[in-house]
A and B are shown apart, each in its own frame.
Chain A
């Protein structure tokens, strides 16, 4: 039975269709294993080789991966919530209440979206602390730390723009306060606030702008920077492993000329 199954799998993997999709081919050689990662559009951002020790929980506490996980949950639940939500005043509030009380699983999805958002902010900070205290931000990984700071900013902006969407009192006043903080920017503060809100008050224009930012611009920008962040891990020599870094890397990393 098993032999028959393996035979069919083997034949399938040799077929023209399979080979057109997975060009790397099959096998257990190091080359084949590397190619399985390298030649896959989803996996090619990752390192082709990883130290086994770095895959254990203790090495990273999986904080970056968990952050990506919450982002994935947020994208999926967010798209589902979009199916019932109209970004118009006062319909937005009614839709939010419908999601709470009328739509099947609406409350579950909304809570999942909200708690994942909180968890993502927490995990981003935890990830940054972990990287900071391990010294993993040091050369040659210093630029990836900068990308990480951009991603922190993206996370906070996503949180902030999402806060207005329920269109309740809490949302309204939080965004009023937040946009007034933005207007404290020297010289162009009031203009920044005007562009942000699309008017002088938090009103229908502001709701629509925040909706577009929250559902389109910020998630796509975040995705782009996540891709760069992962690709940089590979380019900077994989995950930071303190005790296995060769001494020569540790001592000369900061003096290394740019590649």
Chain B
């Protein structure tokens, strides 16, 4: 008992804490800080800072190369370039359900996903291009920002989604 009393730190502001308790708290506290630091460093390490992924901006070539009322899928860029009566526009070809690459089905006149059967409208009257016709897809295929370069090429920015019905007229 006398030993224990001698161990107590004589601190008027904090009389209840003894040496053992103090060191336990210090130890747990510093281990907690170290664990939090490890979590932060781990998270940062696992998030790549530099990605060698293709640029979101792609050049889709001359507008003349797309026939009127045509739907062209670029498999590498994963977009549709569509030449409608109103003008040109681009749809993201990645299904909004689980990310499969959709395809244009000319015989059915619609875009379809091979994975889980979602179907999307292109030319049907009364419906917006990209709108879902059937299947599990939760959202329509997004419209992507399209513009003309100085040379007159069609440029699509795959990172920028726009509101539907914004056509590029050449």
Task: Tell me the residues in window 169-195 of chain A with beta carbons closer than 8 Å to chain B beta carbons.
Answer: 173, 176-177, 179-181, 194-195
Q: Are A201 and B47 in contact (CB under 8 A)?
A: no
Q: Are B100 and A177 in contact (CB under 8 A)?
A: yes
B98: Cβ under 8 A from any A Cβ: yes
Instruction: Compute how far the CA of A201 lies from the CA of B99 in the bound complex, rounded to whole angstroms.
Output: 10
Instruction: Compute how far the CA of A238 lies from the CA of B59 in the bound complex, rounded to whole angstroms.
Output: 68
What is the 8 Å Cβ interface bit string for chain A, positions 151-180, against chain B (1 contact, 0 not)?
000000000000000000000010011011
Q: Are B48 and A177 in contact (CB under 8 A)?
A: no
A177-B115, A200-B51, A201-B53 are contacts. A195–B46 as well, Cβ < 8 Å?
yes
A219: Cβ under 8 A from any B Cβ: no
Q: Are B98 and A181 in contact (CB under 8 A)?
A: yes
**Chain B neighbourhood of A199, CB < 8 A:** 48, 51, 53
How many residues of B sit at the interface, in one of the four size bands?
10 to 19
A194-B47, A198-B48 are contacts. A203–B98 as well, Cβ < 8 Å?
no
Instruction: Compute how far the CA of A179 lies from the CA of B115 in the bound complex, rounded to whole angstroms.
Output: 14
- Which of A173, A194, A204 is close to B115, meaning CB atoms less than 8 Å apart? A173
Query: Which secondary structure characterizes the binding site on chain A?
Result: helix
Instruction: Compute how far the CA of A187 lies from the CA of B81 in the bound complex, rounded to whole angstroms.
Output: 33
Instruction: Compute how far the CA of A200 lies from the CA of B99 in the bound complex, rounded to whole angstroms.
Output: 12
Instruction: Compute how far the CA of A200 lies from the CA of B54 in the bound complex, rounded to whole angstroms.
Output: 11
A177-B115, A195-B47, A198-B48 are contacts. A203–B99 as well, Cβ < 8 Å?
no
**Chain A neighbourhood of B53, CB < 8 A:** 199-201, 203
17 A–B contacts, CB within 8 A, in A order: A173-B100, A173-B115, A176-B98, A176-B99, A177-B99, A179-B99, A180-B99, A181-B98, A194-B47, A195-B43, A195-B47, A198-B46, A199-B51, A200-B51, A201-B53, A203-B53, A204-B52
Which A residues have a C-beta under 8 Å from some C-beta of B?
Answer: 173, 176-177, 179-181, 194-195, 198-201, 203-205
